[in-house]
Amino acid sequence: EPEVTQTPSHQVTQMGQEVILRCVPISNHLYFYWYRQILGQKVEFLVSFYNNEISEKSEIFDDQFSVERPDGSNFTLKIRSTKLEDSAMYFCASSQTNRGGNTIYFGEGSWLTVV
């Protein structure tokens, strides 16, 4: 069964450092997303990406965050200068269309710890 894959599974970084989280969405999907889940909290929408541009972002997704699709398969989330409060599980997701939440598939997550 096709799946969304994410790397790394866990990263520990020092406050102020840049972090790049990588994702390979399902191959025939066109819409890509990042969500995050702070420990013990809800899964929260960060950003959606389609046709090489951001289509929507939440208030969490400030100037410290950026996304990119550098080639035909990868989708990345960059955090420029990490803060302690960025510690969370980051989920990449993808869907074939933008209709119906039923088509959104999530990866296993990248656990980011900022120290």
Partner 1 sequence: QKEVEQDPGPLSVPEGAIVSLNCTYSNSAFQYFMWYRQYSRKGPELLMYTYSSGNKEDGRFTAQVDKSSKYISLFIRDSQPSDSATYLCASTENSGGSNYKLTFGKGTLLTVNP
Q: Provide the binding-site residues for partner 1, judged by CB under 8 A.
A: 4, 31, 33, 35, 41-45, 48, 55-56, 58, 89, 91, 95, 98-102, 104-109, 111
Cβ closest to partner 1, residue 27 vs residue 102: 102
Given a contact cutoff of 8 angstroms between Cβ atoms, the answer to whether 90 and 102 are in contact is no
Nearest distance from C-beta of residue 108 to partner 1, angstroms: 5
- Beta carbon of residue 60, minimum distance to partner 1 (angstroms, whole number): 12
Amino acid, res. 40: G
Q: Min. distance of Cβ 57 from partner 1 in angstroms?
A: 10
Asked whether the beta carbons of 62 and 111 are under 8 A apart, the reply is no
* Cα–Cα distances in angstroms (integers) from residue 45 to residues 58, 62, 85, 93, in the given order: 7, 13, 16, 10
